[in-house]
Structure 1
Amino acid sequence: MGFLRSKTTGFSAIVTTTLNQPWTMWSLRGDEAALVDTKALQWHKPLAQAFDGAFATLPEPFAGCSDGVIRLSQGSTLFLAGDQCLEQDWNKKVLHQGPIIDYPGLGPHIPAAFRSDLDVAVQLPAEYSTRRTLLIKGDQCAVIRWGEGVGYQGPLSGMEGAGWKMLPADMSGDFDHAVMCFPNGVYRTLFIKGDKAMDLDWGRGPTAVGTWGEVVAGLAALPADFQKPRLPAAGRFSGVADGVRVDLRVDLEGELPVVSGDLFTVSNGAYYNSFILDGGQAVELPATITGTAKYATETGRTRVSVRVDKLAPGGTATLTRSTPDGSDPTVFTCSYVSRFLRTIDWEIDYVAGSTPVGQYATTDHPRPPGLDKRIMTVQAAFADAGVELRTAGAANEVALSEADKDKMWSVAELDAAMRRHFSLHRDALQWKLWTFIATRKAYDDGTASPADGTMFDGDGTFQRQGMATFYDVMKEVEIVGTRDELFTFIHEIGHALNLAHTFGKQDAIPKQPLGLRNGYGDKSFMNYQGEYLGDPATGEGNGDAAFWEAFAWQFTPGELRHMRHGFYEHVVMGGKPFLTNAAHLPALAPPAPSRSGLRVRLSGSESFSHGEPVTVEIKLSLDGSRPAAEAVDDLKPGGSHLTVLITDPAGKVRPFQPIARDCGNHDRITLDEGTPALYTGAYLGYGAGGFTFPEPGTYRLQARYRAPDGSTVVSPDHLIAVKAPADDTDRAVGDLLLGSQQGILLALRGSDAPQLAEGNAALDTLIADHPDHPLAVHARMAKGANAGRNFLTLTETGVEVRPADTDTSIEQLAAVVETTLDPTTDAGVDNITLNESMRRLARAHARAGDLEQADTVLDQLVETFRDKDVPEPVLATIVEQAETARTELHEQA
């Protein structure tokens, strides 16, 4: 994360050459510099040529990407670039280089809340030979006395001097720049915020407030590029009328203006509607934008008119909502709030041994067209998109013992950690997001996942509030500290804002159009670098290298529109489930036939009783048109490559969305005679939208697999019948599995999370009261799987580990296996779940110290599937899984 945030001005830094009159200031834009006095431009040249070449030897990223400059006494200058700094004297001698927080005298004394995303860092006159630096963030500030500590920390209005208490409302914080001068012993600071400036006399208050030229004529003489705003021509306003508050967004970034707003009841703050209005033609301010708006919820007041004077501090916007003929108007007079269209409070926790996400200097690699020299951070990427990520304090390190450092995190543990450790968490719609940097993610079967990131919060009513990245995985693939790591963070936050993968937008409801080459050709944060397919018309290549040669660190226009103007519930954390809603089948018409050489099939039971968890087996194989074909080993529904569409008895269709979505590189494999197919199993009973099969009837399932060539392979329909309860006992047992907490537990293979206590109690009741019922096996599976693993709980002091309960795990999983293999009953789990259960059972025996019994279970696993006459390649895979598990268990013992 950067020490200073991205600026709205065309220049990134400004500093005086002297604190006394005559007053001159020099500004930086990339590797260019410009010097002005109070009246005119003195010069504009490359920084390397300025000041007689004093900075000609500056290394990158400081030479082209500095986002702040501090003038120090004794002829030295401190350049700031992201979280790094470099002090150099005017004789080209480097006096210090390294992280800002390690900079002697200053860095160690900076309070945690002021270590990232600052608005301003400006040097004050020394006091009793002690250097002093003023840091400003929002309307808060801290004065650092070098080598001593914090001299003052609190609101700007509490600074020494009566003038600080006289700040105008629209110039009381969130500044872009501050320049200090000291004429005749009087403390004065020039503040710049967007296109507005203020000259503040610390003792008497503002002496001038207005445009740059009105306050300091020389600022208006800066070169045109320095005056051009760097971020989108957009602004957020707020106003109240008739007991309703509107958050109004005006966006002039594209060819046509877009106006959108969210409406809330003043009395209780409850949200009740949103609208979007596309203007008919480009406008220049001041302007009026009028038309028929689209609303999230039907309303009679579809005519919207917005009159706006400027998108900057002091600007106003008048919103009028009325019926189509203009009658019954409600008029909102709205004040300017922010240059950002949306603001998110972002909290980060990370396990000891990992590090918070860093930064990327675009000068580190050859830059594609449209990418400036700059420091790129997570916040900068979203600031470019018009979204403010406001860090909630400093990132918090979570202690992890040496014995526990290799433990993996299941979705259940991540969810429990968020609910317990996310200080801003509430089951509500709110612009607040939690990020956890964990070690490694575990699959449902307890094995390690290759995922480097996940948006895991997909259960319950309020979703998309949490995302995680996995440091150990990123370290193994050598992307820690690189642009790929930064890309991963931005990508996962995009999912939290309800953005789909570029190649998965047809799964969204309503369906979104795919970009170039079925979305694989989009130069977007939401694509996969390794699966990029360049435009053949321009000679672009495919894959990771080609992606970085073309990527300008941007979202697509459609993604930007969603983040800036999407209906409130479709974007805000805690709002609509990821990509889900209801739609009719015509909206999801079959794609063009695939020529990938692949075939996908769904199979499994065709009949399920009341409450029975619905599972399917998924097979990807050759279609017979060629002897070999390339495939991606990613068959989990809701992942990057496979979607299962479910049509309910009423004819409505929706894609199944799991409660967690993993992102990361997946192995590519060639299907041929030796490896003719890939298999996996999937539990579809409960997902991000709740229960998938809530009513009796016939459901139609269809798989869609995205092949490496970008085409979509469609499976034949797989019909399943969900039956009504046969009797009171079936109803009672089924009901014990149908609570939402039980659905989550089945999806997660159990959990210790306190918020799922009622669901766990229901599963315990099912096992205790109906031990012989066919559905008891599913409760045993969840309880046994969870008991057999260590459960990690994030606490205020670190990570607590509940050790595996091997006795319970063996008892429950042995019952699952016994029931499934009993030839006298049809009860039990599917083949893939049986395989998983037997390997879990072997692991539990090994943990209990009984390696002999673990070996016996693994031998039984192989013999069981040999007796089932599964295809030879499948049996070979099962043998390999068993032997791999055996080797691991013996090595661990």
Structure 2
Amino acid sequence: MNYQHKHSVGKCSSEKYSITKTDLNKKIINSSIAPAVSGLYEWSEQQLHEELRLDVDGRYPQMIASGTVNINQALIVHWIANLTLISQDTWSGIIKNQYGQAFPYTNVRIEVTRELFPGQHTAKIIFFAGGDSDRTRLFRYKSPFFHPLELEFDTEEGTVPVTTFETHSLDNRPAFLPNETLSISEIFKRAGFDVKISTGNNTVPQADTGVDKKWSYQELHDAMQVYWSHFDNKPQWAIWTFFAASESMEDGHQLGGIMFDDIGPNHRQGTAIFNNSFISDPAPSDINDSNAWTKRMRFWCAIHELGHTFNLAHSWQKHLGNPWIPPNGDLKSEPEALSFMNYPFNQAFNRNPKNFFEKFEYRFSDQELLFMRHAPEKFIQMGNSNWFEDHAFEQKKDQANSQFKLELKVNRENALFQFQEPVTGYLKLTNVSNEPQLVKEKILSDLNGMTVIIKKDEKHTQQLLPYAKYCRKLEKKIIMPGDSIYESIFLSVGKNGWLIDDPGHYTIQAIIQINGENIRSNPLKIRVTPPTGYDQEYLAQDFFSDDVGRILAFDGSRFLKSGNNILHEVTEKLSDRAVSLHAHIALARPLSYNYKIMNFERKAEDLSSQITILPAQPEEARNHFAAALTERQQLAAQTLSHVDYKEYMESYSNFLSNLGEDKEAARIQSVLYHTLSERNVLDRVLHDIKNRQAYYEEKL
């Protein structure tokens, strides 16, 4: 227990403490002898404006200074330094991080002149380059807060928002926790923000949920645009929080709250709390006040989702998390953090919220506070950097006790891809425990239940967002000890655009959740080679489009004609490149069967007239299948992945069998068998191919 906790509950001065030198410094700085000096300082001269954020006393001091240099409101550099107290009101530190233009200074010394009234404080900063004093600024104190913040709380009709909580209303709490009424605004003030509450206070009609009376993410986004009094499609220090009675359409009772706003040009502006979701489930039988338990869950959930709008990841997901490198070293996951960004029912607390709340102090972790107060503004400010951009990778080193191992691989000796070659890998999930394990049957096919992050060297990290969601019947599958399941994964493009398009080095990682545990794959490193000539560079301008991306992701379309035209051109001009095989497959499959297209120009009353049947074109489909699959079998198996190559060859055989060509269908399976046997695939896969070949032969 540190000094701050003992002091906050009013222990008498005669009680003996064990106080370290650091604690003693905090005690002196935090005492009532002199006002705190932490906060925002400014210096200006003509078009040049500089800010200093000093974080050495007050609530949760981080012993950090950060600053910005701006010319005409454009950021030139952002710097961060760890500080050491060298004498009263004087600190020195090494500048650990820089963003923006090169900053020639390596060290900083800060001397504060502390006045009776905080507004009169000044801070002299001396910057050093190579040990020599080179630059001095005298900053004036502006605010005890590091950033502004405006909150607006709106509600669905018939819903009461929970924006405050009485800390002693439940016995399930730390013994040293002060007895106070905490508000959402106070939590963020303690985090370092000058909080203002907007006067919007709108009531959102339940009718906005539509016929199903449930909120979709798009409906939430639309409601935010309509009812948030300060909505604007630009970065601003402002958040809309919506307390809903109705459930989420996507996740129903299981979704307590969400930072839903990743639609449109400006992310991280809106959150929704679903009051009648699982966060309002009955309290455990030994809790003294069930109503207070529910109120605490709603209060915690609201602040948790608000934390995401600051670009904070979950405590155990810092490998995706804050988009920066902290000044004290690598970003570390905090699975046991007693933070708003953790889950009370996480495995670290034996999945029992009581264990979490018995120690929870209603705060963010130091690592999170460091980010919220001192990271470059664009990473934090709502509506600025996108959610899941600039997130760092961390290979988890402590999965030895996990029951599963997840691997992300490609079917080639060296992870080298040609320019424009779509990157298809495969996932392998292995039961590494000594007992059979039960998982969802399609767990590796569900990209919506998986996080896949892709980072090109020197560029922002992005999340692969699938084009479609699939509503499948929930089936379970048993994986025996030592056994594995496999699935291909198309990595190049999603609904947020092409993620692998330029030459260079990329790192890719996948994360799935099984029984509440996050299973992380290895970071897969690949390289994309430069284009080989003018034709490829020229075609790339049209190839990396949304239409082509969708066609490749869905294995073809007869509706997206412009994209098909580009793929035809690829097969003609780049026939020697791996990308041509992907193009042939995407052109073949929709031609192999009668294809339905909805004609939206016809009258809606006559549904039958809206559907046009495009007849199959078997000869053209056959030509594309052959060019993709059997003319260069080894290249096809490599670039399409073993999993997809097998599936495509099965489709090709079925197509031929439906034409009455069972002998040719059997031959295709024979080609598949020999191709994959040369690539050392599993015996059970080869056995399945032999059975399929025999099936076609028996039909002759």
Measured against the shorter chain, the TM-score band is: 0.5 to 0.7
**Inter-partner Cα distance in structure 2 for 1:603 and 1:683:** 12
**Inter-partner Cα distance in structure 1 for 2:52 and 2:341:** 27
**AA aligned opposite 2:146:** L
8 Å contact from structure 1 (residues 236, 336) kept in 2:
yes
What's the counterpart of residue 317 of structure 1? 122
What's the counterpart of residue 575 of structure 1? 384
Instruction: Indicate yes or no: 2:299 matched with 1:503.
Output: no
What's the counterpart of residue 44 of structure 2? 240
TM-aligned CA deviation for residue 684 of structure 1: 4.7
Instruction: Indicate yes or no: 2:155 matched with 1:346.
Output: no
> Structure 1 residues 576 and 401 mapped into 2: Cα distance closer, same or farther (>3 Å)?
closer
What's the counterpart of residue 384 of structure 1? 190
**AA aligned opposite 2:502:** E
What's the counterpart of residue 90 of structure 2? 288
Pick one of 68, 82, 101 that aligns with 1:278: 82
What's the counterpart of residue 184 of structure 1? none
TM-aligned CA deviation for residue 777 of structure 1: 11
**AA aligned opposite 2:356:** F
TM-aligned CA deviation for residue 600 of structure 1: 2.4
Matched residue SS, 1:519: coil
**AA aligned opposite 2:91:** I
What's the counterpart of residue 363 of structure 1? 168
What's the counterpart of residue 659 of structure 2? none
TM-aligned CA deviation for residue 547 of structure 1: 0.8
8 Å contact from structure 1 (residues 594, 713) kept in 2:
no
Q: Which moved more, 1:380-389 or 1:727-736?
A: 727-736
> Structure 1 residues 383 and 357 mapped into 2: Cα distance closer, same or farther (>3 Å)?
same
Matched residue SS, 1:261: strand
Pick one of 192, 212, 219 that aligns with 1:406: 212
TM-aligned CA deviation for residue 546 of structure 1: 0.8
| Cα deviation digits, residues 712-734 of structure 1 (max 9, x gap) | 55359597979979879965752
> Structure 1 residues 652 and 562 mapped into 2: Cα distance closer, same or farther (>3 Å)?
closer
What's the counterpart of residue 119 of structure 1? none
TM-aligned CA deviation for residue 592 of structure 1: 4.5
> Structure 1 residues 314 and 581 mapped into 2: Cα distance closer, same or farther (>3 Å)?
closer
Pick one of 416, 424, 429 that aligns with 2:230: 424
TM-aligned CA deviation for residue 309 of structure 1: 0.8
**AA aligned opposite 2:277:** V
TM-aligned CA deviation for residue 816 of structure 1: 14
| Cα deviation digits, residues 339-369 of structure 1 (max 9, x gap) | 3222211234433344433322112211213
8 Å contact from structure 2 (residues 588, 622) kept in 1:
no
**Inter-partner Cα distance in structure 1 for 2:110 and 2:609:** 64
What's the counterpart of residue 151 of structure 1? none
> Structure 1 residues 694 and 227 mapped into 2: Cα distance closer, same or farther (>3 Å)?
same
**AA aligned opposite 2:357:** W
Instruction: Indicate yes or no: 2:358 matched with 1:549.
Output: yes
**Inter-partner Cα distance in structure 2 for 1:362 and 1:596:** 36
Matched residue SS, 1:506: coil
Give the count of matched residue pairs.
556
**AA aligned opposite 1:296:** Y
**AA aligned opposite 2:521:** V
Matched residue SS, 1:281: strand
> Structure 1 residues 683 and 555 mapped into 2: Cα distance closer, same or farther (>3 Å)?
farther
Unaligned runs of 5+ in 1: 1-9, 11-28, 33-223, 535-540, 750-762, 789-803, 834-866, 868-893
Instruction: Indicate yes or no: 2:334 matched with 1:529.
Output: no
TM-aligned CA deviation for residue 595 of structure 1: 3.2
| Cα deviation digits, residues 661-685 of structure 1 (max 9, x gap) | x9xxxx99995569x9889987754
Instruction: Indicate yes or no: 2:493 matched with 1:493.
Output: no
> Structure 1 residues 659 and 719 mapped into 2: Cα distance closer, same or farther (>3 Å)?
closer
What's the counterpart of residue 501 of structure 2? 694
8 Å contact from structure 1 (residues 256, 281) kept in 2:
no
8 Å contact from structure 2 (residues 204, 227) kept in 1:
no
> Structure 1 residues 299 and 604 mapped into 2: Cα distance closer, same or farther (>3 Å)?
closer
**Inter-partner Cα distance in structure 1 for 2:420 and 2:199:** 45
TM-aligned CA deviation for residue 621 of structure 1: 4.7
8 Å contact from structure 1 (residues 463, 574) kept in 2:
yes
**AA aligned opposite 1:473:** S
> Structure 1 residues 544 and 328 mapped into 2: Cα distance closer, same or farther (>3 Å)?
same
8 Å contact from structure 1 (residues 232, 386) kept in 2:
no
TM-aligned CA deviation for residue 248 of structure 1: 2.9
**AA aligned opposite 2:432:** D
Matched residue SS, 1:569: helix
8 Å contact from structure 1 (residues 238, 247) kept in 2:
yes
> Structure 1 residues 728 and 694 mapped into 2: Cα distance closer, same or farther (>3 Å)?
closer
What's the counterpart of residue 562 of structure 2? 766
**Inter-partner Cα distance in structure 1 for 2:537 and 2:611:** 28
Matched residue SS, 1:529: coil
What's the counterpart of residue 15 of structure 2? none
8 Å contact from structure 1 (residues 612, 734) kept in 2:
no
**AA aligned opposite 1:234:** S
> Structure 1 residues 524 and 307 mapped into 2: Cα distance closer, same or farther (>3 Å)?
same
**AA aligned opposite 2:151:** W
Q: Identical aligned pairs, as a percentage?
A: 21
**Inter-partner Cα distance in structure 2 for 1:546 and 1:407:** 35
> Structure 1 residues 232 and 348 mapped into 2: Cα distance closer, same or farther (>3 Å)?
farther
Unaligned runs of 5+ in 2: 12-27, 284-290, 569-582, 629-639, 645-668, 670-700
Map residues 439-478 of structure 1 onto 2, 5 A cutoff.
439-443=246-250, 450-458=254-262, 462-474=266-278, 477=281
TM-aligned CA deviation for residue 489 of structure 1: 1.5
> Structure 1 residues 280 and 718 mapped into 2: Cα distance closer, same or farther (>3 Å)?
closer
**Inter-partner Cα distance in structure 2 for 1:308 and 1:457:** 43
8 Å contact from structure 1 (residues 437, 469) kept in 2:
yes
8 Å contact from structure 1 (residues 462, 575) kept in 2:
yes
> Structure 1 residues 308 and 603 mapped into 2: Cα distance closer, same or farther (>3 Å)?
same
8 Å contact from structure 1 (residues 643, 655) kept in 2:
no
**Inter-partner Cα distance in structure 1 for 2:206 and 2:642:** 37
Structure with a larger share of its residues in strand:
1
Instruction: Indicate yes or no: 2:209 matched with 1:394.
Output: no
Instruction: Indicate yes or no: 2:240 matched with 1:434.
Output: yes
**Inter-partner Cα distance in structure 2 for 1:578 and 1:615:** 25
8 Å contact from structure 1 (residues 645, 703) kept in 2:
yes
8 Å contact from structure 2 (residues 319, 331) kept in 1:
no
What's the counterpart of residue 90 of structure 1? none
What's the C-alpha RMSD, in Å, of the aligned pairs? Answer: 6.0
**AA aligned opposite 1:566:** A
8 Å contact from structure 1 (residues 614, 684) kept in 2:
yes
Matched residue SS, 1:329: strand
**Inter-partner Cα distance in structure 1 for 2:529 and 2:201:** 48
**Inter-partner Cα distance in structure 2 for 1:816 and 1:413:** 38
**AA aligned opposite 1:392:** S
> Structure 1 residues 406 and 582 mapped into 2: Cα distance closer, same or farther (>3 Å)?
closer
TM-aligned CA deviation for residue 703 of structure 1: 3.0
8 Å contact from structure 1 (residues 569, 576) kept in 2:
yes
**Inter-partner Cα distance in structure 1 for 2:196 and 2:616:** 51
> Structure 1 residues 289 and 489 mapped into 2: Cα distance closer, same or farther (>3 Å)?
same
**Inter-partner Cα distance in structure 1 for 2:616 and 2:204:** 39
TM-aligned CA deviation for residue 311 of structure 1: 8.6
What's the counterpart of residue 374 of structure 1? 180
TM-score (norm 2): 0.61
> Structure 1 residues 437 and 311 mapped into 2: Cα distance closer, same or farther (>3 Å)?
farther
TM-score (norm 1): 0.49
8 Å contact from structure 1 (residues 610, 734) kept in 2:
no
| Cα deviation digits, residues 714-773 of structure 1 (max 9, x gap) | 35959797997987996575243289xx99x999x9xxxxxxxxxxxxx97737977998
**Inter-partner Cα distance in structure 2 for 1:684 and 1:524:** 33
TM-aligned CA deviation for residue 467 of structure 1: 2.8
**Inter-partner Cα distance in structure 1 for 2:252 and 2:428:** 22
Q: Which moved more, 1:628-637 or 1:542-551?
A: 628-637
**Inter-partner Cα distance in structure 2 for 1:816 and 1:510:** 54
8 Å contact from structure 1 (residues 505, 511) kept in 2:
no
Map residues 156-195 of structure 1 onto 2, 5 A cutoff.
none
Matched residue SS, 1:236: strand
